[in-house]
Homo-oligomer: A and B are copies of this chain.
C-alpha cells in the first residue's frame, strides 16, 4: 500500500495526539502538521507528533486526508476557504459540535467532508499535552454520513479504526443534543463550581481542603476558555436546554433539603447511583 499523506491542521492536544496515534498505528501515514502558531509547529516537530510542518495551502490541499483539529468556529472558516479539492480527498473535522459545521459547508465540498467528534480529551492543551493513547478504545461519533462520499466514509472509518476508536453513527442534530448533556453542560457546571469557590472570602483556605471529589469536579474548569466559547456559541440552544434540566434536578434536591424530606432525598441520590451499573 502506498504511503498516504495526512494533513493535521491544529497541533494541540487533539491534533498532536492524532499524529502520534497514526504514527504508532502504521508507517502507512506521512503526517504534515499545520498551525498558525510557529511555536506549536516547532514543538510538534521536536515531540515527533508530525513528520513535517507546513502552512502552505497547496501542500495541504494535496494531502489524501486533511484533519481539522481546531476550534469549531475556525473549522467552518477553514472549510469555506478550501478550493480545488480533488474528488478523492477526505476532509475530517474533529470539533465538539456537529450540526452547524455539517450544514454550513459548501455543496462543492460536501462529499469530501466527514463530520467527526472523537469523545476524548483532557483539560490540557497545546502540543505538549498530546499523548499517543488518547483515542485508544474511545468512541468517535460520525455524523450525517449519507451526505459524505462513499469513498470518504470508507477512508474515515478505516483511519479511526486503525487508531483503536469505536465508531457510533448519529445525525448531527441528535449529536449536538447528546453532547450538550454529556460534555458541554458539564463544562458549564465545572466552570461555575470553580468560580463559586473562587468568589468566596478566603478561597485559598477553602481550597486547602480540596481532595479527590473537588478535583474531579473542577478538572475540566481548567479547559481553554477560547475553545469553549466557540462550542457554547455553536450549541447555544441545546446547552441552555440542558442547563435548565440540570437546574430542575438541583432545585429538587435543594427543596428536599430545605423541607427536610430526607427519605425522598435518599431515593433521589439512589437513583443517581444507577450510573454504577453503566460505567
Q: Which residues of A contact B (CB under 8 A)?
A: 119-122, 138-139, 141, 168, 178-179, 181-183, 185-200, 204-223, 225-226, 228-229, 232-233, 236, 239-240, 242-243, 245-250, 252-254, 257-258, 260, 262, 265-276, 278-279
Alpha-carbon gap, A169 to B241, bound state (A): 43
A62 → chain B, closest Cβ, in Å?
33
Bound-complex Cα distance A199 to B206 (A)? 33
Cα A236 to Cα B269 with chains together (Å): 16
Pick the contact of A181 from B120, B200, B250 — CB < 8 Å? B200
A120-B211, A197-B182, A239-B257 given; A226·B192 CB < 8 A: no
A209 close to B178 (CB less than 8 A): yes
Selected contact of A266 from candidates B138, B225, B262, CB within 8 Å: B225
Q: Let me know if A196 and B242 touch, CB within 8 A.
A: yes
Query: How far apart sit A272 and B220, CA to CA, in the bound complex (Å)?
Result: 10
Contact A206:B178 (CB < 8 A) given known A189-B217, A225-B273, A279-B215? yes
Choice from B183, B207, B214, B229 contacting A265 with Cβ under 8 Å:
B229
**Residue ID in chain B nearest A233 by CB atoms:** B262
Chain A interface, >50% SS class: helix
Residues of B within 8 A of A197 (CB): 181-182
A217 in contact with B220 given A206-B182, A236-B257 (CB within 8 Å): yes
- Kindly state the separation between the CA atoms of A122 and B186 in the bound complex, as whole angstroms: 20
Identical chains in the assembly: 2
Chain B, Cβ-Cβ closest to A229? B266
Q: Which of A168, A196, A206 has the largest count of B CB atoms less than 10 A from its CB?
A: A196
* Interchain nearest-CB distance for A20 vs B (Å): 18
Q: Cβ of A222 and Cβ of B276 under 8 Å apart?
A: yes
Beyond the given pairs A182-B206, A196-B246, A210-B279, 6 more chain A to chain B contacts, judged by CB atoms under 8 angstroms and listed by A's residue number, are A120-B212, A139-B211, A216-B216, A218-B275, A228-B269, A232-B257
Sample of 19 A–B contacts (CB below 8 Å): A119-B211, A121-B211, A121-B212, A178-B205, A182-B211, A185-B196, A188-B253, A189-B217, A191-B272, A192-B249, A195-B271, A196-B246, A204-B278, A215-B279, A216-B217, A225-B266, A225-B267, A225-B270, A229-B262
Chain B min CB distance to A48 (Å): 24
